[in-house]
Amino acid sequence: MTVPMLKIGAVLSTMAMVTNWMSQTLPSLVGLNGTIISPDGTHERIISGLYPGSEEGWQVYSTASDPDGRCVCTVVAPARNLCKRDPRNQQLRLLTEQVQNVSQSMEVVHLRTSRDLQYVRDSEPLLRGVDGHLHTYVASPRTLTSKTLQELKGQMSQLRPLLSVVEQYRLDLQMLATLRMELLNLSIILTAIQEEVGAYDYEELQQRVLLLETRLHSCMNKLGCGRLTAVSNPITVKSSGSRFGSWMTDAMIPSSDSRVWSMDGYYKGRRVLEYRTMGDFTKGQNFVQHLLPHPWAGTGHVVYNGSLYYNKHQSNILVQYHFRSRSVLLQRSLSGAGYNNTFPYSWGGSSDIDLMADETGLWAVYTSIPNAGNIMVSRLDPRSLEILQSWDTGFPKRSAGEAFMICGTLYVTNSHLAGAKVHFAYNTNTSTYEYTDIPFHNQYSHISMMDYNPRERALYTWNNGHQVLYNVTLFHVIQSDG
């Protein structure tokens, strides 16, 4: 190969090696080994590790001591939060964007140099031919004829595009110098962040935070039951189905079951959709269908310990359907209970019998003619569906929008429409009631199902074709140890 050809080949080989080194080494310099870049350009590992979302942090309200020396506090335990308020987040976001820009620029240079190198290789035989002819003509000028000169001019015109290739190399070398300066600046910034963070890296910090939150959740579980004092703003999980329906997770404590069930409609329905996780439910994927042998009435269903408990259509019979075996395990009449819109909630919908679960077990909320339409609360044995104990709350069921149990206390809303609030509570532990004033935002103006899940400490609602969650604040009184 001639000297010019050797120089061009050396420049191309050097640029290819530099590009390859930068593409392999830059991720390790900035801590992106194994990072996956999604189609929208987001670095998923950094985002999932350092920027978890917009959930609230742990909060402790109104800590004080009462006259008897007891510590009184209210704790709100939200979803996990991994250092999202760290002031370095914005700086790391900017670094991520810069790394992305540098990576894209390197990719462009790499593709261009690879293409041009192939072009030069394809032109090599022509270059060798021109070089041989020139050596021949220099050694023997008489061999140069008008015909050979014309051929030489044609070959030279074919080689003319190499000039633009060489010019592009010059521009790419300038770009590489600019990228080198950007890499140097990134290294300086990352070094400063590393010194600021100190001995702990983010992986270790995440593990420490997760451990602390696990201990806090354990502490919350040990707090036991409390009195409802507030309902959060609504969290819309999904928009699906008709105006009326029911959705739920297993209310049994403890349980690792992550499945979600959905039952659309309130009249003669038989189709139950079972989703593997809450994420699958929101996306409408990974589900199986159960076809119940008996249709349901209303929306007052509950899943407890792997079984669905529901009211059989046009009867006061309670049915236990086991999901794993896909069979009915038990049927029993709820003696004296009204059905078929005899004593529904204010919105109707065959909501005469409302089954629910809380920290203390399985419950039925209903009424009967002897009780003059007032709400009855009965504790049920989940294995036999026998009534263990009943209470007459004295509250007219037709005046209630919905109801749910928390820690053995029945909470009743005054309406299923906009402006609703929790305004009545009946404590089965003391057989006493009180009127409350706990407002909540009825975002879609028509709630046809509202149930408390003690595992999640959240209210599940079906609101005008929307599946909505509410977090609850419970008031706990803890006896201090001095």
Instruction: Determine, yes or no, domain membership for 8.
Output: no
The CATH number of residue 370's host domain is 2.120.10
d(CA 399, CA 411): 13
189 and 285 inside one domain:
no
d(CA 368, CA 379): 16
pLDDT of residue 336: 92
317 and 247 inside one domain:
yes
Instruction: Determine, yes or no, domain membership for 68.
Output: no
pLDDT of residue 90: 67
pLDDT of residue 65: 44
Instruction: Determine, yes or no, domain membership for 48.
Output: no
Instruction: Determine, yes or no, domain membership for 418.
Output: yes
Residue 418, classed as helix, strand or coil, is coil
Instruction: Determine, yes or no, domain membership for 65.
Output: no
Q: Based on the structure, what is the number of domains in the chain?
A: 2
309 and 160 inside one domain:
no
Instruction: Determine, yes or no, domain membership for 259.
Output: yes
pTM of this structure: 0.58
255 and 399 inside one domain:
yes
- CA gyration radius, the chain: 36
331 and 293 inside one domain:
yes
E strands, 186-286, in order: 227-231, 235-239, 245-249, 260-264, 267-275
HEC letters along 423-453: EEEEECCCCEEEEEEEECCCCCCCEEEEEEE
- Residues 154, 155, 160, 166: what is their CA dihedral angle, to the nearest 10 degrees? 180
| pLDDT (tens place) for every residue of the chain, 482 residues total | 444 444 444 333 434 343 343 344 333 333 333 333 333 333 332 222 222 333 444 444 444 444 555 555 555 544 444 445 555 666 666 777 777 777 777 777 777 777 777 777 777 677 777 777 777 777 777 777 777 777 777 777 776 777 677 777 677 777 777 877 777 777 777 777 766 665 455 677 777 777 877 776 666 655 667 899 999 999 999 999 999 999 999 999 877 889 999 999 999 999 999 999 999 999 999 999 999 999 999 999 999 999 999 999 999 999 999 999 999 999 999 999 999 999 999 999 999 999 999 999 999 999 998 988 999 999 999 999 999 999 999 999 999 999 999 999 999 999 888 888 999 999 999 999 999 999 999 999 899 999 999 988 899 999 999 999 999 988 876 554 43
282 and 429 inside one domain:
yes
Instruction: Determine, yes or no, domain membership for 220.
Output: no
Instruction: Determine, yes or no, domain membership for 64.
Output: no
278 and 358 inside one domain:
yes
243 and 144 inside one domain:
no
341 and 464 inside one domain:
yes
371 and 270 inside one domain:
yes
CB atoms within 10 A of CB 467: 24
Q: Give me the sign of the Cα torsion angle 283, 287, 291, 297.
A: negative
Q: Is 411 left (phi over 0), alpha (psi -120 to 50) or beta?
A: beta
Q: Which domain holds residue 240?
A: 227-475
419 and 280 inside one domain:
yes
128 and 266 inside one domain:
no
CB 97 within 8 A of CB 42: no
